[in-house]
Amino acid sequence: MATIDIAKTFPTVIEAVGAFSETLLAKSPRTRVNYLSALNRFQEFLPTVGLAPETATTDQLPRDVLERFYTWLLRVHGRERRTTAVTYVGETRAFFRFLDRRRWLRADLSFEHIKDGLRELIGRVPYKTPRVDDAVALVVTSVKAVPLPVADERNGQRRLELLRDRAILTTLYATGMRRQELSRLNRSDVQDGRSAEGLITGKGEKERVVFFDDDSLAAIRAYLQARSDTYLPLFLRHDDGRGKPGPRGERWRLSPQSVWAVVKRYGELAGVDATTHHLRHLKARTLLNNGAQLSEVQDLLGHASPETTKKIYAPYTRQHLREAFDRFSVPAEEVARRARRPEERG
């Protein structure tokens, strides 16, 4: 990683990216990868405006550099990838916020100026709500339909994997957790499948309570009983290439990507396109269409803002609202019949 020459007033772009990357250590691995990927695209773009990342200093970045980066992304990837372009620019914008804090932008330029220019150029980009229908639930039922191998030496590994996968899929649907949240679960969080709720660390390192149903708890207990170990992670790898367990089995903890792969595998078995996030959306839609309030779903899913919940899940409540409309609406004629005529009032 490049180091900054303290004799300079301003670092080069590459040096600044190196300094910024160090501030991402507290972020999740996935978030860090996303930010650095966006900055790689940004550094690919800079030569098109006459700036070499290795030699150009941060005070040389023009006022409209992020606006030009956005239009470059559209030219390279096409307008149909507008959402991707907005994501890259948003993640690069965090880098400019960092530069502003360090006073590494030129004197007549501030992060607010950059942000205002982007807002006018990009405008609003609608969130595309995933089209998730009830068929996604087949992912959960398909794993239960797979016959459980007998408990012998030859089938031991496959039996453990199937019990684990049943626990993963029922837990994802029951709780609406993200894959990273599920990967972080420790067996103590659910008291080895005896606790109906648990405190987890979610997105943005924020804690929240998640709730388990009888089905998910039974699957967790069956999996842990078959494991017969005391390792800390709730979900483990059971493949031959997992190496040594490490302290308390931490090296065997199932990764978020592996959780995603479990869902994809059983989705293919069930004949549906499904991801961990599809299960999360299905849980939210089911709650909303059965009478849960948006504020309740916000808390259950761990959204920081109620606007996020409303923006993403409000379309799923239309059928619920239609039913309420039909159930509680009263024709004007009926209302009129109940009313007293003026001459009948006192």
In the prediction, which pLDDT does 323 show?
67
Which tops the pLDDT comparison, 333 or 156? 156
**Model confidence band, residue 317 (pLDDT cutoffs 50, 70, 90):** low
How many CA atoms are closer than 13 Å to the CA of 279, on its beta-carbon side?
28
Q: Of 109-123, 205-219, 319-333, where does the model show the most confidence?
A: 205-219
Which tops the pLDDT comparison, 340 or 272? 272
Per the annotation, the verdict on 313 as an active-site residue is: yes
In the prediction, which pLDDT does 57 show?
93
Q: What are the C-alpha distances in Å from 295 to residues 59, 69, 303, 321?
A: 45, 37, 10, 16
**Model confidence band, residue 125 (pLDDT cutoffs 50, 70, 90):** very low
In the prediction, which pLDDT does 260 show?
93
**Model confidence band, residue 39 (pLDDT cutoffs 50, 70, 90):** very high
Could you tell me how many residues make up the chain? 346
**pLDDT of 47 strictly over 70:** yes
**Model confidence band, residue 42 (pLDDT cutoffs 50, 70, 90):** very high
The single residue of 35, 231, 313, 316 carrying the catalytic annotation is 313
Burial of 247 (C-beta count, 10 Å sphere; 0-12/13-18/19+): exposed
**pLDDT of 322 strictly over 80:** no
- The residue among 239, 237, 238, 206 whose CA lies nearest residue 305 is 206
Per the annotation, the verdict on 285 as an active-site residue is: no
Which tops the pLDDT comparison, 143 or 206? 143
Residue labelled with tokens 């409209």:
64
In the prediction, which pLDDT does 209 show?
86
- The residue among 216, 259, 250 whose CA lies nearest residue 232 is 250
In the chain, beta strands by DSSP E: 197-201, 207-211
Buried b (16+ CB within 10 A) or exposed e, 10-47: bbbbbbbbebbeeebeeeeeebeebbeebbebbbebbe
Per the annotation, the verdict on 178 as an active-site residue is: yes
Show the tokens assigned to 274.
């499904």
The single residue of 280, 281, 283, 285 carrying the catalytic annotation is 280
The single residue of 277, 310, 311, 320 carrying the catalytic annotation is 277
In the prediction, which pLDDT does 83 show?
80
Per the annotation, the verdict on 320 as an active-site residue is: no
Which tops the pLDDT comparison, 345 or 135? 135
Alpha-carbon dihedral sign for residues 179, 266, 223, 152: negative
> Interhelix angle for 82-101 vs 65-77, to 10°?
160
The single residue of 41, 178, 179, 237 carrying the catalytic annotation is 178
Kindly report the number of other CB atoms within 10 A of residue 266's CB atom: 24
Alpha-carbon dihedral sign for residues 81, 32, 93, 17: negative
Q: Of 103-117, 271-285, 312-326, where does the model show the most confidence?
A: 271-285
In the prediction, which pLDDT does 306 show?
64
In the prediction, which pLDDT does 191 show?
92
42-51, 207-216, 274-283, 330-339, range with the lowest pLDDT: 330-339
User: How far is 11 from 67, CA to CA, in rounded Å?
Assistant: 22
User: How far is 321 from 173, CA to CA, in rounded Å?
Assistant: 24
Which tops the pLDDT comparison, 124 or 11? 11
**pLDDT of 1 strictly over 70:** no
DSSP 72-103: HHHHHH-GGGHHHHHHHHHHHHHHHHHHHHTT
DSSP 233-275: BSSB--STT-----GGGGGGBPPHHHHHHHHHHHHHHHTS---
In the prediction, which pLDDT does 152 show?
84
Q: What are the C-alpha distances in Å from 152 to residues 101, 155, 158, 164, 235?
A: 61, 6, 10, 17, 21
184-198, 222-236, 293-307, 316-330, range with the lowest pLDDT: 316-330
> 339: phi > 0 → left, psi -120 to 50 → alpha, else beta; which?
beta
Per the annotation, the verdict on 154 as an active-site residue is: no
Give backbone dihedrals phi and psi of 57, rounded to 5 degrees, phi first: -90, 160
Which tops the pLDDT comparison, 26 or 341? 26
Mean pLDDT of the chain: 84
**pLDDT of 232 strictly over 50:** yes
Per the annotation, the verdict on 194 as an active-site residue is: no
In the prediction, which pLDDT does 185 show?
94
User: How far is 264 from 259, CA to CA, in rounded Å?
Assistant: 9
**Model confidence band, residue 315 (pLDDT cutoffs 50, 70, 90):** low
**Model confidence band, residue 212 (pLDDT cutoffs 50, 70, 90):** very high
Distant-in-sequence contacts of 100-104, Cβ < 8 A, 24+ apart: 102/16, 102/19, 104/10, 104/11, 104/16, 104/58, 104/59
Q: Report whether 2 contacts 18 (CB < 8 A).
A: yes
- Average of per-residue pLDDT across 173-180: 91
User: How far is 124 from 170, CA to CA, in rounded Å?
Assistant: 36
User: How far is 66 from 72, CA to CA, in rounded Å?
Assistant: 10
Show the tokens assigned to 198.
């648990």
Segment 74-124, tens digit of pLDDT: 888 887 677 888 888 888 988 998 998 999 988 888 788 777 777 777 755
Q: Look up residue 120 and give its amino acid.
A: E
The single residue of 203, 208, 242, 265 carrying the catalytic annotation is 203
The single residue of 179, 231, 303, 316 carrying the catalytic annotation is 303
